[in-house]
A = this chain, B = another copy of it.
Amino acid sequence: MSESKAFSIEALAERLGGSLVGDGSVSVSGVASLIDAGPTDLSFYADRRYRRQLASTKAGALVAREPLPGLTIPQIVHPDPFLALASLLDLFHPSASRSPGVHERAWVAPSARLAPDVTVLPFAYVGEEVEVGARTVIHPGVFLGRGVSVGEDSVLWPNVVIRENCRIGKRVVIHPGAVLGADGFGFARRGGKFVKIRHVGIVVIEDDVEIGANAAIDRGTLGRTLIRRGVKIDNLVHIAHNVEVGEDSAMAAQVGISGSTVIGKRVIMGGQVGLVDHLTVGDEAVLIAQSGVIGDVPGGATLSGFPARPHREVLKTVAELRGLDRLKDRLRQLEKEVRALRELAGIADGEESNEP
């Protein structure tokens, strides 16, 4: 998969804003992991867990956080190797050029408005009054319901479904199979049976959001479900009706957020976290994987467990539980000693129970 481009390490160090250690004239034409890299590949080292792979790598050059002593290959030292990697991958693997246009096997409603250079691939369905911004790519099997709008430079991967009237921003990436704008799970009850509450709200996705494969974001009952700028959502995440997620928050796979809960900015959620409805989570809170959150979360807090509590407390509890055995031993020892003392003092067993 490597491209035909080649760069000198010196040129790359300058482009990345890193400093060069070793022979800058070495040329590389690809990026690869420590294991897979060959002499014409640049690799990267950012985590001590990969020390063994570092020792045996055949890479031609390396990006690292600090100069690595004892290496003969040239190094680019960069304070954030992941950021350097992001730039390198953009450089070596630019987006494939494609010829835009609407494929004859796609279906586009007459009233849809497509900006120039939009790509619509076979079996995509673009409904009435849909608007699509410039350079956006709509893959096979995508469904855009009536009145949907999608901003420019977005990518809708295959089989993404966006129901009527939802609004998607610019530079948004939606991975295959994600569903936006399905009815929320809201029912009234009449005599023990559920009565459907029609969901007439929408979903609004702001710019620079990424949404994972087979994720589901429901439309508002009234009003909207709102995902703000820069939010990153992993695979199989569920976001219920009328939820609001603040800028630059991220949630790992299989997170579930119940109706009307409001998430702040730069909140981080590990995988499989669940939140009940109508909560507020403050800015920069961290919810450890699998947390079950049933109350409001203050900004900056780190929670875990079910019901979610401060993570430090949870770890302490786990340690204490392991200490329960010792606690019981101590209790047993005390009981023995007190029995002995009572015998010495001439108090018969059970005597006190007869007293008031």
Contact = CB atoms under 8 A, between A and B. Distances in A.
Most chain B beta-carbon neighbours within 10 Å: one of A234, A240, A256, A258: A256
Contacts of A57: none
A264 interface: no
A338 interface: yes
Interface in A242-275: 248, 250, 252-254, 256, 258, 266, 270-272, 274
Interface string A207-232: 00010111110101111000000101
A183 interface: yes
A51 to B, nearest CB: 13
Nearest to A308: B290
A158 interface: yes
A345 to B, nearest CB: 5
Most chain B beta-carbon neighbours within 10 Å: one of A143, A192, A197, A276: A143
A321 B317 contact: yes
A64 to B, nearest CB: 15
A292 to B, nearest CB: 4
Given A290-B292, A340-B352, A236 B234 contact: no
A10 to B, nearest CB: 23
A182 B176 contact: yes
A119 interface: no
B185 A85 contact: no
A129 B80 CA distance: 37
Contacts of A317: 321, 324
Interface stretch (A18-26, A67-75, A110-118, A159-167): A159-167
A347 B340 contact: yes
B143 A125 contact: no
A35 B341 CA distance: 68
Interface in A139-173: 139-141, 143, 146, 157-159, 161, 163, 165, 173
Contact of A252 (B185, B197, B272): B185
A223 B36 contact: yes
Contacts of A163: 157, 176
A143 B173 CA distance: 18
